[in-house]
Each structure stands twice: as C-alpha cells, then as structure tokens.
Amino acid sequence: MGGIEQKYIQEAFDTNWIAPLGANVDGFEQELASYVNIKAASATSSGTGAIHLALDLLGVQAGDTVFCSTLTFIASANPILYLGATPVFIDSEEITWNMSPQALEQALKEAKENNTLPKAVIIVNLYGQSARIDELMALCNEYNVPVIEDAAESLGSLYKGKHSGTFGKLGIYSFNGNKIITTSGGGMLVSDDEQLISYSRFLATQARDAAKHYQHSVIGYNYRMSNIVAGIGRGQLEVLDERVAQKRAIFERYESAFANVDGILMMPELEETFSNRWLSTMTLDPEKIKVTPYELIDLLAEANIEARPVWKPLHIQPLFEGCEFYPHSDKKIVSEELFAKGICLPSDTKMTIEEQQYVIDVVLNNI
C-alpha cells in the first residue's frame, strides 16, 4: 500500500457508501480512463469478470470460436468457456513472448476459408510487455474481427507512446493482489465506445431493467466493484508511476548482474515500447547453463527465495486438450520453448536492494 488509500476508504465509511457504487467507483473509473487516455472505463470485481463482460458485449455465444494467446494465465481463456464458445490458441513470437502475427495470419486465413472466423481475438500483453500491436491489429482489421486487449499485467506500459490496453475494441486491467497496483481483487474494462461501457455496467449489475420492480430481460452478472475496493484503487493509482519506476529498476539490476553470463537472457523489450516490467523474467540456455529452470527454482527455494516457471501454455493444459493451436512456424513452437527455458524472479517492489542482491548471488552461485 502506498499510504494514501486509507483516506478514500475512510470517506466510503464516513458517507456509508459500501455497496458497488459511490464516489470512489465513479472516481476510480474516471481517473483510470484519464490516466490511459481512453473515453470510458467500468470498474469490475475482477479482471476475469471484465474479460467475460467483454466477450458478452461482442456477442460471443455457444458454437463460436475465440482466438487467444496461448502463453498466459488461464484467466485469459476461461471466460470463453463460460459462454460456451471454443478457444483457438495462437503461439508466441520470440521478442515480445506474445501473440505471433505469423501464427495469427495463418489462423485467420484458414478460418476465413472455412467460414469460421472468430467472434473476437484476445491479445495478451505478457509480464508487462506489449505485443506486436501494429501487425496484430492490422490482421484483425483486415478480417474485421474485434480485439480484446488483455492488459491485466501491463498497466503503465506504452506501445509507441500509447497506453497498453487501449488499442482493441475493449481492454481490460487487473488489480489482483499481485499486480503492479492492487485493490486486493478487482479489474477494469475500458473502451473508446462509451455506449458499450455503459451497457457493460448494466450487465455487471445483474442486468436489472428500468422498472420499479425487479425485472430482468437478459442474463446479467454480479461484477461491479465495491466502493471500498475502488477507494484502494484510487490511492494506488496515485503511486502507479512510482511502482513502474521501481519495477523497471528491479529488472535493470537483474539485467546488469547477469549481463556477462553466457546463457542467461532477460525478457527483451520490443523497440518503441516501454514495459512496466511487472515481473522480471529470464530464460536459461540449456546448452550453456548447467541447471534447468526447475532445478534453479528448487535451489532458490532452499535459500528461502520464491521463483516460478513462466506460464504453462494453454494449448498444453489438460483443460484445453483437443483445442486447435497455431504454432509460430512449422518448425518452431515458441511458447513451449519459453515454458521450458523461462523463470520468473522475485520482483516485489517491497524487496530491498540487499534482498535482491541475495537472489542474484544465489543464482550466480548455482548456474
């Protein structure tokens, strides 16, 4: 916590606005929209709920397909299943670790030929790094398929000077407990289509019709953010730039420490982008480093340091067995290579420089 949050929480208590509406909800939506320079935002109970709403707003239903990045947390794809649709997973490319334009082009081409174009494409900005937005958006526009930009991990990141999460028809952010700013749990749905965002608020409050009695004509959800939680978000938003600077400093210390190690490569940063470096991640070359990522994770754990592998690609998750998948090329599945070689290092902004140096020393002593 940055320390400012309590002021907004106290205001919610003082005014007795505890429910999923109030000055903090309105303020958080307006302030977030202003920060990322987009016309409208709707505060939700989770980032997952925001994706679910986005898919519903685009008319996704049973029998439809939705294309989705494969190298991501499962929350990016679960809402596709909520609506009875079928996910099709798209491989990564090497620089951004995000959706491969090459793989997406092949998937869209085949879908067009088979008259099965997807209802939407979910593009994820992994670990704070923007995907190749220009190429991906051009493809989706060519085939007239709307984009949902999953910026759950990339609030504060920029692509050619424009904020991550603001390129697609709809964008989403997450404020889960581990994100760059947090509301303990929550999310935000954003768009330049103000009418769409207004309707999302209707759906997120159980789709209650304008009647004196409780009347409902369409399926709705209980997805609005509470006024207390939104107060935390308003306070957190005030320190977002500071958090980004801290995250980038953590990444840069790792990068400097491992710069001369042949076989360690920190996650690249695409030209003309600015990553919030939400997680400091790297890959180990198995031909040059004597330990595997899993072995290094165990060695770090013995030293009381928590590290993790990168996300397991969704196309090899048991839940999605049998789903279609488009690789980067006939000879290369980039997401699986990253899963085999990748490791996420401690990246908490509360970590001291001395604690980070301890992590660095343990890594260097065991590779």
What separation in angstroms does the CA of 281 have from each of 227, 250, 255, 344? Answer: 35, 11, 10, 4
- Name the burial class of residue 352, with classes exposed (0-12), middle (13-18) and buried (19+) by CB atoms within 10 angstroms of its CB: exposed
Contacts of 219 (CB under 8 A, 6+ apart): 207
Kindly compute the dihedral angle of the four CA atoms of residues 131, 137, 143, 149, in this order, to the nearest 10 degrees: 60
Maximum Cα interatomic distance, the chain, rounded to a whole number of Å? 70
Catalytic residue flag (residue 288)? no
Q: Is 206 left (phi over 0), alpha (psi -120 to 50) or beta?
A: left
CA distance 204 to 45: 9
* Residue 188 CB coordination number (10 Å): 28
Contacts made by residues 63-67, CB under 8 angstroms, sequence distance 24+? 64/118, 64/119, 65/111, 65/116, 65/118, 65/119, 66/118, 66/119, 66/120, 66/121, 66/122, 67/104, 67/107, 67/108, 67/118, 67/120, 67/121, 67/122, 67/145
What separation in angstroms does the CA of 43 have from each of 145, 157, 315, 357? Answer: 25, 20, 30, 38
Q: Among 179, 247, 312, 332, which one carries the catalytic annotation?
A: 179
Q: Which residues are catalytic?
A: 179
